[in-house]
Amino acid sequence: MLFERIVVGAYAANCYILADEETKEAMVIDPGSEADRIYRKIEAKELTVKYIVLTHGHGDHIGGVEQLKKLTSAKVLIHHDDAELIESAELNLTVNMSGPVAFKADETIGDDKTLEVGKHKCQIIHTPGHTKGGICLYFKEEKILFAGDTLFYGSIGRTDLYGGNHKQMISMIKEKLMELPDDVTVYPGHGASTTIGFERKKNPFL
């Protein structure tokens, strides 16, 4: 699988590009800003972006969506319960960031949906707590989890914003993520990657 991490915007959000090396079919996770820079990587590798998947609806993860969609014609996906965030600049907090952003998803998705790019498959895991419709994307074969702002290296996402719920966050991480094998690499929405095994042992919030 082709894999690229690009750190974008004032909040240093991680945008990920994943693609099948043969078919060149790709998915972009969280184009939070700097759509031009993300698109240059896509062009350089001659990828066809099938999906733009949003781990949740906060401004630092969605700022580049509209422009990247124009450039790629990819389908924008978000969990049902975070659709209201991307449709409201107040709720997605962009009114307080670099300027209001509001748009509609092409499709809303739920728990256990499977997405495919070429031969690579990922399962959607609904992990509310940071927002109501936060998701993780789990590539079982590749042993990779994209965790959005749910689980970070040695930390967890904040739960004091609209739709946040600390109790729910902890139980989602314990029930749905800590069940995964130790050697699954976790790529969060900000900062360095980690593993399920490391977080199970060392994360002070769990």
* 189 near Zn ion, rule: CB under 5 A: yes
* Distance (Å, whole) CA 121 – CA 95: 35
Binding test (CB under 5 A) with Zn ion, winner from 109, 149, 156, 163? 149
Q: How far is the CB of 57 from Zn ion (least distance, A)?
A: 8
Determine the residue with CB nearest Zn ion: 58
* 58 near Zn ion, rule: CB under 5 A: yes
Binding test (CB under 5 A) with Zn ion, winner from 20, 30, 34, 60? 60
* 31 near Zn ion, rule: CB under 5 A: no
Residue 130's nearest CA partner among 170, 96, 73 is 170
* 30 near Zn ion, rule: CB under 5 A: no
Cβ atoms of residues 49 and 31 within 8 Å: no
The piece of 74-82, 118-126, 170-178, 183-191 that touches Zn ion (CB under 5 A) is 183-191
The piece of 58-66, 86-94, 106-114, 178-186 that touches Zn ion (CB under 5 A) is 58-66
* Distance (Å, whole) CA 111 – CA 164: 18
DSSP state of 22: T
Residue 146's nearest CA partner among 168, 120, 118, 124 is 124
